[in-house]
Amino acid sequence: MARAVSRNTKIGWTIAAWAVALLIFFPILYTIITSLKSEQEAIAGFDLIPSFTLESYQTVQSQNNYWRPFTNSVILAVGSTLLALIVAIPAAWAMAFSPTKRTKDILMWMLSTKMMPAVAVLVPIYLIFLRTGLMDTRIGLTVLLMMINLPIVVWMLYTYFREIPGEILEAARMDGATLRDEILYVLTPMAIPGIASTLLLNIILAWNEAFWTIQLTTTNAAPLSAFIASFSSPQGLFWAKLSAASVMAIAPILVLGWFSQKQLVRGLTFGAVK
């Protein structure tokens, strides 16, 4: 706002905003704090100051074989996103730069596939995975996650590519650029930021996917979302250990997420809100 605001008003709003923000963040903060406590401390009642022990982190890593689900998460999230990009970049490119009468219909149809509830195809996907030996394999789940996110990837890329001005291409052509030069030196540098944003958002979405990962894995290919869900059974549940496992599962994606606020709005609203 352009007009001057009195200092007291600003301080008042600041206190209110910080109070709300801390309240919303509190469950995450308290989990981080609990992860730094010993098990006895963790159930000893409300306390915001832990003893800063890394005991729980060590236990989770040594006893629960944390690194396998972590590796699976990385492979599934990055692998499915890269696969989706390989298929989506040419498609979005074609739709943005040589649109036909049907381009809009195709885009809307792609969006509509995203509306299909996962549970509606649980039965056939489960049976296909069971019969083809894809159950609990990374490759099966990677391809599945790629299909789930493909519509969003195409859409996001399309909205970014569409913003690249066509005049630039004409100017390059006038200067004698070949198609190869055009793609390599004019379009690619302008498309990179959009591709990077799409990559980021889809890694986040794939990392946090928790329906198919729980349905289609047991141990070998189980990523963190399925690994953490297995903690819901009461045996062996310890507060500090659970907190440490949770923090390790969300930390990488939380940090990535902080960098992708803008892309989040754009990607998840299919360009309807900018």
Partner 1 sequence: MATRQTQGLARLMRAPAIILLFIWMIVPLCMTLYYSFLNYNLLNPGMTSWAGWFNYQYFYSDPAFFEAIGNTLILVLGVLFITVVLGIAIAMLIDKPIFGQGIVRILVISPFFVMPPVAALIWKNMIMHPSYGVLADVARFLGVQPVDWFAQYPLFSIILIVAWQWLPFATLILLTSLQSLDTEQMEAAEMDGAPAYSRFLYLVLPHMARAITVVILIQTIFLLGIYAEILVTTNGGPGTASTNLTFLIYRAARLNFDIGGAAAGGIIAVILANIVAVFLMRAVGRNLD
Is 38 a binding residue for partner 1 by CB under 8 A? The answer is no
Nearer to partner 1, 45 or 189 (CB): 45
CB of 43 to partner 1, least distance (A): 5
Is 243 a binding residue for partner 1 by CB under 8 A? The answer is yes
| CA-based R_g, the chain, Å | 23
Is 52 a binding residue for partner 1 by CB under 8 A? The answer is no
150, 142 Cβ separation under 8 angstroms: no
Looking at residue 23, its amino acid is L
| Rounded-to-integer distance, Cα 267 and Cα 81, Å | 14
Within 10 angstroms of residue 258's Cβ, the number of other Cβ atoms is 8
Looking at residue 15, its amino acid is I
Candidate ranges 1-9, 61-69, 131-139, 188-196; the one touching partner 1 (CB under 8 A): 1-9
Binders of partner 1 in range 194-213 (CB under 8 A): 204, 207-208, 210-211
Q: What is the DSSP string of 1-43?
A: --S---HHHHHHHHHHHHHHHHHHHHHHHHHHHHHTS-HHHHT
**By rule CB under 8 A, what count of residues binds partner 1?**
102
Is 166 a binding residue for partner 1 by CB under 8 A? The answer is yes
Is 61 a binding residue for partner 1 by CB under 8 A? The answer is no
Is 34 a binding residue for partner 1 by CB under 8 A? The answer is yes
Binders of partner 1 in range 100-119 (CB under 8 A): 100, 104, 106-108, 110-119
Q: Which of 76, 145, 152, 253 binds partner 1 (CB under 8 A)?
A: 253
Q: Angle 188-208/67-97 helices, nearest 10 degrees?
A: 140
CB of 187 to partner 1, least distance (A): 13
Is 164 a binding residue for partner 1 by CB under 8 A? The answer is no
Binders of partner 1 in range 211-230 (CB under 8 A): 211, 214-215, 224-226, 228-229
Q: Which of 60, 76, 88, 156 binds partner 1 (CB under 8 A)?
A: 88
Is 184 a binding residue for partner 1 by CB under 8 A? The answer is no
Q: Which positions ≥6 away from 57 have C-beta within 8 Å?
A: 35, 244, 248
Is 231 a binding residue for partner 1 by CB under 8 A? The answer is yes
Q: Which of 124, 133, 176, 189 binds partner 1 (CB under 8 A)?
A: 124
Is 126 a binding residue for partner 1 by CB under 8 A? The answer is yes
| Rounded-to-integer distance, Cα 161 and Cα 193, Å | 10
Which DSSP symbol is given to 221? T
Q: Which of 98, 101, 176, 189 binds partner 1 (CB under 8 A)?
A: 98
